[in-house]
């Protein structure tokens, strides 16, 4: 994988995205605005436009009990589960499997009225990161998705408007060993999630429409995805 043409970009993007994900939303003066909250889940956005297009960066933080960071990243990264949890997905193609932890996808998303239908072409990379604090712990796992150009999937060639996205799912497993020294069970683990995304919608769509879509779709997506992983793993051995 290190020899692949995308490798340098993947390496740089992962480092940059993980560093950004680790930054707190700080004092809200830094421009992050809380726009959705549900229990442990908090969703922030910054209102940003690029030549008239809404490209609001999104940062969500969440803590989920009973699953590990590896498990969350595995179900987010692996194509075979995506239709189960990604409700806005109409079609997905694995264009290239660069290695077991790096895949290139083409996805068509269901049309969200009144915007025209979108598609995305992106590489996706999953990796374990050393947790600076405790090296031997379960550590940090991340999946980074970033749009890329593919000659065989030219942008805006068919009915879809091409979106440009950069997404980072950063997960830290927290283990609270049982007092009695017994084996660690799912009651003793939780996962701290940071999900960052910047989606440039490609073609024009009304700012009010896009912001309404983001406000509705992102909380739904993160709640549905985490519930899916909890359900998929509840009767399985823990994978760190």
Ligand X SMILES: O=S(=O)(CCO)c1ccc(-c2ccc(C3CCCC3)c([C@@H]3C[C@@H]3c3ccccn3)c2)cc1
Tell the smallest beta-carbon distance from residue 49 to ligand X (Å): 14
Distance CA 194, CA 142 (A): 9
CA dihedral over 156, 158, 159, 163, signed as positive or negative = negative
Only one residue has tokens 């909250």, namely 37
Q: Is residue 144 involved in binding ligand X (CB under 6 A)?
A: no
Q: Is residue 120 involved in binding ligand X (CB under 6 A)?
A: yes
CB nearer to ligand X: pick between 79 and 137:
79
Q: Is residue 146 involved in binding ligand X (CB under 6 A)?
A: no
CA dihedral over 214, 40, 85, 137, signed as positive or negative = positive
Q: Is residue 214 involved in binding ligand X (CB under 6 A)?
A: yes
User: HEC profile for 45-83?
Assistant: ECCCEECCEECCCEEEEEEEECCCHHHHHHHHHCHHHHH
Q: Specify the 3-state DSSP secondary structure of 221.
A: helix
CB nearer to ligand X: pick between 67 and 189:
67
Q: Is residue 240 involved in binding ligand X (CB under 6 A)?
A: no
Q: Is residue 41 involved in binding ligand X (CB under 6 A)?
A: no
Q: Is residue 112 involved in binding ligand X (CB under 6 A)?
A: yes
Q: Is residue 198 involved in binding ligand X (CB under 6 A)?
A: no
Q: Which residues bind ligand X (CB under 6 A)?
A: 86, 88-89, 107, 109, 112, 115, 118, 120, 145, 163, 165, 167, 197, 199, 201, 205, 213-214, 217-218, 221
């Amino acid at each position: 994988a290190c020899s692949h043409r995308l490798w340098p970009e993947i390496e740089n993007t992962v480092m940059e995205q993980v560093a950004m994900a680790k930054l707190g939303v700080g004092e809200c003066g830094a421009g992050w605005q809380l726009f959705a909250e549900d229990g442990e889940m908090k969703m922030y956005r910054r209102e940003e436009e690029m030549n008239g297009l809404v490209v609001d960066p999104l940062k969500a933080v969440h803590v989920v009990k009973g699953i590990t960071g590896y498990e969350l990243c595995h179900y987010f990264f692996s194509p075979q589960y995506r239709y189960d949890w990604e409700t806005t997905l109409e079609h997905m193609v694995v264009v290239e499997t660069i290695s077991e932890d790096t895949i290139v996808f083409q996805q068509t998303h269901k049309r969200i009225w009144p915007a025209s239908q979108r598609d995305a072409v992106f590489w996706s990379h999953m990796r374990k990161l050393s947790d600076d604090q405790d090296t031997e712990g379960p550590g940090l796992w991340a999946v980074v998705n970033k749009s890329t150009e593919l000659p065989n999937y030219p942008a805006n060639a068919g009915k879809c408007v091409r979106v440009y996205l950069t997404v980072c799912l950063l997960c830290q497993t927290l283990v609270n060993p049982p007092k009695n020294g017994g084996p660690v069970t799912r009651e003793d683990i939780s996962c701290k999630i940071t999900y960052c995304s910047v989606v440039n919608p490609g073609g024009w769509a009304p700012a009010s429409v896009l912001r309404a879509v983001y406000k509705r779709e992102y909380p739904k997506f993160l709640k549905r995805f985490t519930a899916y992983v909890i359900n998929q793993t509840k009767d399985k051995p823990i994978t760190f």
